[in-house]
Amino acid sequence: MPANALPQDDTDQSPWLKDPRHRDWLLADARRQFQFFDASVNPKGGFFTLDLDGRPLPDRLQELHTTTRLIHSYALGMRLGQPGADKIVDQGMRYLWSHHRDPVHGGYVWGVKDDAVADGRKLAYGHVFVLLAASSALEVGHPDARRLYEDVSEVLEQHFWEEDPGLFCDEWNRDWTPFSSYRGMNANMHGVEALLAAHEATNDAQPLARAGRILEMFTQRMVATHGWRIPEHYTASWLVDPDYAGDPMFRPPGTTPGHSCEFGRLLLQWWDLSGRPQGDAPERARRLIARALSDAWDKARGGMVYTLDLDGKVAIDARYWWPVTEAIGALSMLIKLDPRPEDELWYRRLWRFADEKLIDHRRGGWFPELDGNDRPAMTQFKGKPDIYHSVQAALFPLTPGLSRHMHELGAL
């Protein structure tokens, strides 16, 4: 890496966001990520998951969030003028409609292997990513985007949105029969992300309003009684379920500081898109992000631990790449809005850790997990599972506004 990519002189407090050397380095890292994940394309349709060297892994299971996140990420690449990005968006859009979409029961199945449904569950988490993919495809003018957008919007309306609480429920069998009463924060957080993208793509007021209702629940009501941390799991009546422990990757118990960083960023984006109304949204976002960094930063090793107990004690001390990327995105928003000295210090600390430990400078992409000796680990992940988190960490600081403003990427 060039020695001047991350300035080392901390006596100079001028924001890195305005430093041309840093901005050039961010853009170069984003382009190297796109080049690495170009190898995801499966000639038979859909996408491969890649190992650390960029070779296809043998497991052919393709999950809905992988397909949709690649569509969204390469739509961003199209805005950058990244060569070949349009072909990956095309591939993902075709596969989403021909394989994930359920022509019998409607909606989108979670897992596909070759031409067969491998996991027919209908999950809110997956469907909001379909909405994100459709919205991003709309913004780049994909010819099938409107069809996908209208289809997934109808499914979300009929099967997932619950008007009384103003939140998304979580999961169904393939035929829309219930198999649990679980309610979760994660699907709703990514629901906010997708709803804000939908609003930006269509200028429809309803997605923005619904995003606001979800944000009120988690960044106002929940944090008020949980020390500015957000519990992950709930009962059907939206009471915190302290004993729930599901999938250790997607549904670990307790709270997840990386999600608080995401919520802080999304709250600022909603506030900006809503015309910056009176209220405490910016301060709530700042408090969420500050609590997450204070709780999660591993003072001995660097990086962010994965989860906490509901009382704030470290529960899972694994260090994954995505909380660092989300903290970078959140800090970049705070610096754009109301920069404070501690914001700049955290932003630099996060990028230096990523540069030294997480970014694969030789091959491209980021390592998803570190072991106790700061070597790439494979405990929860195989290979490099996606571009979505890390490429947005590189791109969010480069846009001038708080919202996604995909059209502004074309000027970089």
* Averaged pLDDT, groups of 10, the chain, 412 residues long: 48 84 97 98 96 95 97 97 97 98 98 96 98 98 98 98 98 97 97 98 98 98 96 97 85 95 98 96 98 98 97 96 98 96 97 98 97 92 95 95 70 66
In a domain, 161, yes or no: yes
At 8 the pLDDT is 56
Q: What are phi and psi of 386, to 5 degrees?
A: -165, 165
In a domain, 336, yes or no: yes
In a domain, 72, yes or no: yes
Q: State the Cα–Cα distance between residues 127 and 317, nearest whole angstrom.
A: 30
In a domain, 409, yes or no: no
In a domain, 96, yes or no: yes
Give whole-number Cα distances, 407 to 140, 202, 296, 299, in Å.
9, 14, 34, 38
Domain that holds residue 396: 17-401
Number of structural domains (the chain) is 1
In a domain, 412, yes or no: no
At 250 the pLDDT is 80
In a domain, 339, yes or no: yes
The residues annotated as belonging to the active site are 259, 389
The CATH code of the domain that includes 344 is 1.50.10.10
pTM value > 0.85 = yes
In a domain, 205, yes or no: yes
At 58 the pLDDT is 93
